[in-house]
Structure 1
Amino acid sequence: MPAQTAQTVGAVPVLGAGNLVGATPATLDAAFGHPALLRVDGSAQVWLYHSPVCGLNLILYPDASGVPHVATAVPDNGDAARCTLSLEHPTTAAALEQRAAS
């Protein structure tokens, strides 16, 4: 099966449930920002993201050149598509923006 790549909207990659595996830290950071928790366990990294909809655990392992890639994505709500969508910057940033004074 060919590797899936992230689409981009402007300069920000759009990650969906189907293309989280293989994503690099740079891609994750651009799409979701910094994780709420980043744990290093041997050669593995565990990145945890939270939204009002879910928590998403991403487990990354380095490739032959040492660049970490997502090997597994585990949403705590069982719905990877909905979880991933709730974490993307346009959704979360809009929810956190303050209303402009009129």
Structure 2
Amino acid sequence: MRSVGIKTLNSKLSEYVRLAEAGETVLVTDRDRVVAEIRPPRASRSPVLADAMLADAVRKGWLTPALSPGSEPPRGGPPVATLAELLRELDDLRSDR
């Protein structure tokens, strides 16, 4: 494991990224205090950026993956309100303008 100050990292970033790519963790310091880590991606991480970002979004619950072909759609609960009720509420909200 290596450490590097922010100033040096700024001027030699590609060198430290190559170290991380080779499997080494680099600690980034600011005034002798560790503020970040540059490390190799997890083995489960996709090498394609778009795939990796989508996988993170699914893990964090921001996205729900599409259903597999042939699977059933999720079952919903009872409607919260009827269309007529929603439209009436929308009209009430717009009348204040």
| TM-score bin, normalised by smaller chain | under 0.3
Q: Structure 1 length as normaliser, TM-score? A: 0.25
Which structure is higher in strand share? 1
Which structure is higher in helix share? 2
Highest CA radius of gyration, 1 or 2? 2
- Relative contact order: is structure 1 or structure 2 higher (C-alpha 8 Å, sep ≥ 6)? 1
